[in-house]
Amino acid sequence: MVFVVSLRTAIRRRRLVSEMLKGMGMRFTFIDAIDGDDASAVGADFACRETTADRNYIHRSKPITARELACSLSHIRAIKAASAVASQRALIVEDDVDFLCRDPMVLARLAQVAPSDAAYLQLQVASSATIEALHARYLSSGALYERKKRSPPYAFTDPALSAFTCHGTAAYIVTLAGMKNLLGRVLPDDRFLFPCKAAEVSSNKALVSDKLVYWAATNEHCHGYAIRAPVATTSAVDSYLHKDHVTNHRRAREAAISIFGECLAASSSADLRP
């Protein structure tokens, strides 16, 4: 099952992603994203609690916007919805996702060969430099997945990749273990617990989208992984967050498209190793 995070007002995006997923023969449902321009709606979806064990604070000088928080909380909403119906895993996508690989059997296989300790599998990757670095590692080994750190969740565990960051929530598979980890941070009143003080929300970079969702899905036993072969990107046409978002995703899209064919050729003789 595919869960599509999308603003109810994003008519064009919804039409395009619906056409793509239907063409792939995939069942999907829309998860109405939280409107970041509605401050009360954003504030109603989270609470703050800081403990020594779960504190996660990464300073950002530029204030976190309500739209950025809304994006993070909307993904959490999608994972909560997925957990109610998914038995083992769920595919979460944003409404501007563009699957380069549109064979549902291949996508299913990507989940089947995932590492046994996976909390999530990131299928869309940015930046362009990271895509190229992961692509080189895929061609050299045939292994599909690169393990990521928990904190920060946009870094890799392999020191050889210390110069690269890995961002993106346009497409990822969250496993049952990942869902349970994240849901463990949801209060009985359905609010999600931010791992910081209330006064720190506006400056905590750790609350922005992939930084929060991927962190919350993992623990010391369950890890995050990024795919080395590009199978998904974004349309990179517009952004609900900021202009730089478009520029960064456009470069990542160009990199992903340029090497997709090479990865596809390599995978035809590979055994899709994790």
Q: Is the pTM value of this prediction over 0.85?
A: yes
Nearest Cα neighbor of 192 from 41, 7, 48, 40 is 48
pLDDT over 90, % of the chain: 75
Nearest Cα neighbor of 120 from 97, 86, 96 is 86
pLDDT over 70, % of the chain: 92
Cα separation of 45 and 67, whole Å? 13
The residue type at 97: V
Q: Rounded mean pLDDT of 111-127?
A: 95
Nearest Cα neighbor of 91 from 147, 15, 169 is 169
Q: Rounded mean pLDDT of 208-216?
A: 96
The residue type at 204: N
> According to the model, what pLDDT value does residue 145 have?
97
Nearest Cα neighbor of 148 from 234, 209, 88, 214 is 214
At the topology level, CATH places domain 2-267 in Spore Coat Polysaccharide Biosynthesis Protein SpsA; Chain A (3.90.550)
pLDDT in tens, 154-183: 999 999 999 999 999 999 999 999 999 999
Contact 156, 147 (CB under 8 A): yes
* E strand or H helix that includes residue 135: helix 128-141
Q: How confident is the model at residue 240 (pLDDT cuts 50, 70, 90)?
A: low
Strands (E) located in the chain: 2-6, 28-32, 46-48, 89-94, 97-99, 118-122, 145-147, 171-175, 192-194, 223-227, 232-234
- In this structure, the strands spanning 171-175 and 89-94 are antiparallel
> According to the model, what pLDDT value does residue 269 have?
42
* pLDDT higher than threshold 70 for residue 274: no
Q: Rounded mean pLDDT of 55-73?
A: 95
The residue type at 15: R
pLDDT in tens, 12-52: 999 999 999 999 999 999 999 999 999 999 999 999 998 87
Cα separation of 109 and 103, whole Å? 10
The percent helix, strand, coil of the chain (3-state, each to 5) is 40, 20, 40
- Map tokens 């083992």 to a residue: 88
